Structure 1
Amino acid sequence: MISSSPLVIGVGVAVALLVLARRLLGPSAEARESKRAHDAAREREPPVEIGETYEFGVTELTDHHSGDEVAVGKVEGFVVFTEDVPSGLEPGDVIRAKVLSFNEGRTSADATFVGRA
Protein backbone atom coordinates (compact mmCIF):
# COMPACT_ATOMS: atom_id res chain seq x y z
CA MET A 1 0.00 0.00 0.00
CA ILE A 2 1.29 3.46 -0.90
CA SER A 3 1.30 5.96 1.92
CA SER A 4 -0.51 9.23 1.35
CA SER A 5 1.17 11.10 4.17
CA PRO A 6 2.08 14.75 3.48
CA LEU A 7 5.79 13.88 3.70
CA VAL A 8 5.59 11.18 1.01
CA ILE A 9 3.49 13.41 -1.24
CA GLY A 10 5.91 16.31 -0.70
CA VAL A 11 8.94 14.18 -1.60
CA GLY A 12 7.17 12.92 -4.72
CA VAL A 13 6.34 16.45 -5.83
CA ALA A 14 9.93 17.60 -5.18
CA VAL A 15 11.37 14.75 -7.25
CA ALA A 16 8.94 15.47 -10.10
CA LEU A 17 9.90 19.17 -10.05
CA LEU A 18 13.62 18.32 -10.13
CA VAL A 19 13.16 16.01 -13.12
CA LEU A 20 11.11 18.64 -14.93
CA ALA A 21 13.64 21.40 -14.17
CA ARG A 22 16.51 19.21 -15.43
CA ARG A 23 14.70 18.61 -18.71
CA LEU A 24 13.89 22.28 -19.16
CA LEU A 25 17.35 23.58 -18.22
CA GLY A 26 19.31 21.02 -20.25
CA PRO A 27 22.81 19.74 -19.55
CA SER A 28 25.12 21.30 -16.97
CA ALA A 29 27.87 23.73 -17.92
CA GLU A 30 30.41 20.95 -17.35
CA ALA A 31 28.53 18.58 -19.68
CA ARG A 32 28.26 21.30 -22.35
CA GLU A 33 32.01 22.03 -22.13
CA SER A 34 32.84 18.33 -22.36
CA LYS A 35 30.65 18.00 -25.48
CA ARG A 36 32.26 21.10 -27.02
CA ALA A 37 35.76 19.72 -26.41
CA HIS A 38 34.78 16.34 -27.85
CA ASP A 39 33.31 17.94 -30.97
CA ALA A 40 36.41 20.11 -31.43
CA ALA A 41 38.64 17.04 -31.10
CA ARG A 42 36.71 15.32 -33.86
CA GLU A 43 37.30 18.25 -36.19
CA ARG A 44 41.08 18.52 -35.85
CA GLU A 45 43.95 16.32 -36.86
CA PRO A 46 45.50 14.45 -33.92
CA PRO A 47 48.70 16.14 -32.65
CA VAL A 48 50.35 12.70 -32.35
CA GLU A 49 51.48 10.15 -34.92
CA ILE A 50 51.39 6.37 -34.80
CA GLY A 51 54.83 4.98 -33.99
CA GLU A 52 56.10 8.18 -32.38
CA THR A 53 57.00 8.54 -28.69
CA TYR A 54 55.64 11.41 -26.57
CA GLU A 55 56.26 12.68 -23.05
CA PHE A 56 53.30 13.78 -20.92
CA GLY A 57 51.93 13.89 -17.40
CA VAL A 58 49.58 11.22 -16.11
CA THR A 59 46.23 12.80 -15.23
CA GLU A 60 44.61 9.61 -13.92
CA LEU A 61 44.86 5.84 -13.78
CA THR A 62 41.81 3.88 -14.86
CA ASP A 63 40.71 0.36 -15.74
CA HIS A 64 40.82 -0.41 -19.45
CA HIS A 65 38.11 -2.55 -21.06
CA SER A 66 40.74 -5.31 -21.15
CA GLY A 67 40.79 -5.29 -17.34
CA ASP A 68 44.31 -3.84 -17.15
CA GLU A 69 45.13 -0.50 -15.55
CA VAL A 70 46.05 2.24 -18.01
CA ALA A 71 47.51 5.70 -17.54
CA VAL A 72 45.57 8.58 -19.03
CA GLY A 73 47.34 11.75 -20.14
CA LYS A 74 47.16 14.46 -22.76
CA VAL A 75 49.44 15.66 -25.54
CA GLU A 76 48.36 19.15 -26.65
CA GLY A 77 44.92 18.42 -25.17
CA PHE A 78 44.66 15.10 -27.04
CA VAL A 79 43.88 12.11 -24.77
CA VAL A 80 46.36 9.21 -24.78
CA PHE A 81 45.58 5.92 -23.01
CA THR A 82 48.84 4.15 -22.09
CA GLU A 83 49.02 0.41 -21.44
CA ASP A 84 51.72 -1.70 -19.77
CA VAL A 85 52.33 0.87 -17.03
CA PRO A 86 54.51 -0.19 -14.10
CA SER A 87 53.09 -0.55 -10.62
CA GLY A 88 53.56 2.49 -8.43
CA LEU A 89 52.78 4.94 -11.21
CA GLU A 90 50.64 7.83 -9.92
CA PRO A 91 48.80 10.84 -11.32
CA GLY A 92 51.30 13.65 -11.77
CA ASP A 93 54.11 11.33 -12.88
CA VAL A 94 55.62 12.18 -16.26
CA ILE A 95 56.00 9.28 -18.68
CA ARG A 96 57.07 8.51 -22.23
CA ALA A 97 54.73 6.43 -24.38
CA LYS A 98 54.71 5.18 -27.97
CA VAL A 99 51.45 5.70 -29.86
CA LEU A 100 50.07 2.45 -31.28
CA SER A 101 46.65 3.35 -32.71
CA PHE A 102 43.76 5.82 -32.73
CA ASN A 103 40.27 5.13 -31.49
CA GLU A 104 37.26 5.35 -33.78
CA GLY A 105 36.82 8.97 -34.71
CA ARG A 106 40.50 9.71 -33.95
CA THR A 107 39.61 11.61 -30.75
CA SER A 108 42.11 9.68 -28.60
CA ALA A 109 44.99 7.25 -28.99
CA ASP A 110 46.25 4.04 -27.42
CA ALA A 111 49.93 3.82 -26.53
CA THR A 112 52.40 1.59 -24.73
CA PHE A 113 54.61 2.67 -21.83
CA VAL A 114 58.25 3.34 -22.80
CA GLY A 115 59.59 4.80 -19.58
CA ARG A 116 59.48 7.50 -16.96
CA ALA A 117 60.63 10.93 -17.99
Structure 2
Amino acid sequence: MIPSDPIVVGAVAVIALLVLFAVVSRLRGPSEEAKESKRAHEAAQDRDPPVEIGETYELGITELTDHHSGEEVAVGKVEGFVVFTADIPRDLSTGDVIRAKVLSFNEGRTSADATFVTKA
Protein backbone atom coordinates (compact mmCIF):
# COMPACT_ATOMS: atom_id res chain seq x y z
CA MET A 1 0.00 0.00 0.00
CA ILE A 2 1.40 3.43 -0.99
CA PRO A 3 1.07 6.10 1.73
CA SER A 4 -1.17 9.02 0.86
CA ASP A 5 -0.50 11.25 3.86
CA PRO A 6 1.37 14.34 2.50
CA ILE A 7 3.68 14.46 5.53
CA VAL A 8 4.74 10.83 5.06
CA VAL A 9 5.22 11.32 1.31
CA GLY A 10 7.30 14.47 1.97
CA ALA A 11 9.43 12.71 4.58
CA VAL A 12 10.08 9.79 2.23
CA ALA A 13 11.04 12.23 -0.54
CA VAL A 14 13.48 14.08 1.74
CA ILE A 15 15.09 10.81 2.87
CA ALA A 16 15.39 9.67 -0.74
CA LEU A 17 17.08 12.95 -1.72
CA LEU A 18 19.53 12.69 1.19
CA VAL A 19 20.44 9.13 0.22
CA LEU A 20 20.86 10.17 -3.41
CA PHE A 21 23.07 13.12 -2.38
CA ALA A 22 25.24 10.84 -0.21
CA VAL A 23 25.66 8.33 -3.05
CA VAL A 24 26.56 11.02 -5.61
CA SER A 25 29.00 12.67 -3.18
CA ARG A 26 30.67 9.33 -2.52
CA LEU A 27 31.00 8.60 -6.24
CA ARG A 28 32.52 12.02 -6.95
CA GLY A 29 35.40 11.41 -4.55
CA PRO A 30 37.21 13.93 -2.38
CA SER A 31 36.67 17.66 -2.88
CA GLU A 32 39.29 19.85 -4.52
CA GLU A 33 40.03 21.31 -1.09
CA ALA A 34 40.68 17.82 0.33
CA LYS A 35 42.91 16.97 -2.63
CA GLU A 36 44.91 20.18 -2.21
CA SER A 37 45.30 19.53 1.51
CA LYS A 38 46.65 16.05 0.78
CA ARG A 39 49.08 17.43 -1.82
CA ALA A 40 50.32 20.05 0.67
CA HIS A 41 50.77 17.41 3.37
CA GLU A 42 52.76 15.17 1.01
CA ALA A 43 54.91 18.12 -0.10
CA ALA A 44 55.60 18.97 3.55
CA GLN A 45 56.88 15.46 4.12
CA ASP A 46 59.35 15.86 1.26
CA ARG A 47 61.01 19.08 2.43
CA ASP A 48 63.07 20.26 5.34
CA PRO A 49 61.13 22.38 7.85
CA PRO A 50 61.63 26.14 7.37
CA VAL A 51 62.00 26.54 11.15
CA GLU A 52 64.66 25.45 13.64
CA ILE A 53 64.27 24.26 17.22
CA GLY A 54 65.14 27.03 19.67
CA GLU A 55 64.51 29.84 17.19
CA THR A 56 61.71 32.42 17.47
CA TYR A 57 59.40 33.16 14.52
CA GLU A 58 56.63 35.62 13.75
CA LEU A 59 53.39 34.06 12.53
CA GLY A 60 49.76 34.95 12.00
CA ILE A 61 47.14 32.96 13.89
CA THR A 62 44.84 31.11 11.50
CA GLU A 63 42.97 29.11 14.12
CA LEU A 64 42.61 28.50 17.85
CA THR A 65 42.01 24.85 18.71
CA ASP A 66 42.14 22.36 21.55
CA HIS A 67 45.38 20.39 21.70
CA HIS A 68 45.33 16.68 22.61
CA SER A 69 46.69 17.79 26.00
CA GLY A 70 43.42 19.63 26.62
CA GLU A 71 45.09 23.03 26.37
CA GLU A 72 44.02 25.62 23.79
CA VAL A 73 46.75 26.29 21.21
CA ALA A 74 47.18 28.78 18.40
CA VAL A 75 47.74 27.43 14.90
CA GLY A 76 49.81 29.46 12.47
CA LYS A 77 52.20 28.93 9.59
CA VAL A 78 55.75 29.85 8.71
CA GLU A 79 56.27 29.55 4.94
CA GLY A 80 53.29 27.18 4.82
CA PHE A 81 54.69 25.06 7.66
CA VAL A 82 52.21 24.52 10.52
CA VAL A 83 53.28 25.66 13.99
CA PHE A 84 51.15 24.83 17.06
CA THR A 85 51.78 27.42 19.79
CA ALA A 86 51.00 26.69 23.45
CA ASP A 87 50.88 28.93 26.53
CA ILE A 88 48.88 31.56 24.67
CA PRO A 89 47.16 34.48 26.42
CA ARG A 90 43.37 34.36 26.74
CA ASP A 91 42.85 37.50 24.64
CA LEU A 92 44.55 36.04 21.55
CA SER A 93 42.31 35.92 18.44
CA THR A 94 42.42 34.58 14.91
CA GLY A 95 44.31 37.09 12.77
CA ASP A 96 46.65 38.21 15.56
CA VAL A 97 50.37 38.12 14.82
CA ILE A 98 52.60 36.58 17.47
CA ARG A 99 56.18 35.56 18.09
CA ALA A 100 56.66 31.93 19.10
CA LYS A 101 59.72 29.86 20.02
CA VAL A 102 59.90 26.44 18.34
CA LEU A 103 60.36 23.61 20.85
CA SER A 104 60.02 20.40 18.83
CA PHE A 105 58.84 18.75 15.64
CA ASN A 106 56.12 16.15 15.30
CA GLU A 107 56.90 12.70 13.96
CA GLY A 108 57.66 13.12 10.28
CA ARG A 109 58.68 16.77 10.81
CA THR A 110 55.54 18.06 9.06
CA SER A 111 54.64 20.49 11.89
CA ALA A 112 56.21 21.96 15.00
CA ASP A 113 55.24 22.73 18.59
CA ALA A 114 56.15 26.13 19.99
CA THR A 115 55.57 28.31 23.01
CA PHE A 116 54.17 31.84 22.98
CA VAL A 117 56.71 34.64 23.38
CA THR A 118 54.79 37.87 22.69
CA LYS A 119 52.28 39.56 20.40
CA ALA A 120 54.04 41.15 17.46
Specify if TM > 0.5. Answer: yes
Q: Please tell me the residue identity of whatever aligns with 1:53.
A: T
1:113 to 113, 116, 120: 116
Worse-matched range after superposition: 65-74 or 12-21: 12-21
Structure 2 match to 1:40: 43
CA distance in 1, matches of 2:95, 2:84: 15
CA distance in 1, matches of 2:119, 2:18: 50
Structure 2 match to 1:19: 22
Aligned residue pairs total 115
1:61 to 37, 61, 64: 64
Q: Give the C-alpha shift of residue 35 in structure 1.
A: 1.2
Give me the CA root mean square deviation: 1.7
Q: Please tell me the residue identity of whatever aligns with 2:29.
A: G
TM-score by length of 2: 0.86
SS at match of 2:95: coil
Deviations 1:33-76 (A, max 9, x none): 11111111111111011111111111121111111111111100
Structure 2 match to 1:72: 75
Q: Please tell me the residue identity of whatever aligns with 1:80.
A: V
Deviations 1:11-41 (A, max 9, x none): 3322221122112110111111111111111
TM-score by length of 1: 0.88
Q: Please tell me the residue identity of whatever aligns with 1:20.
A: V
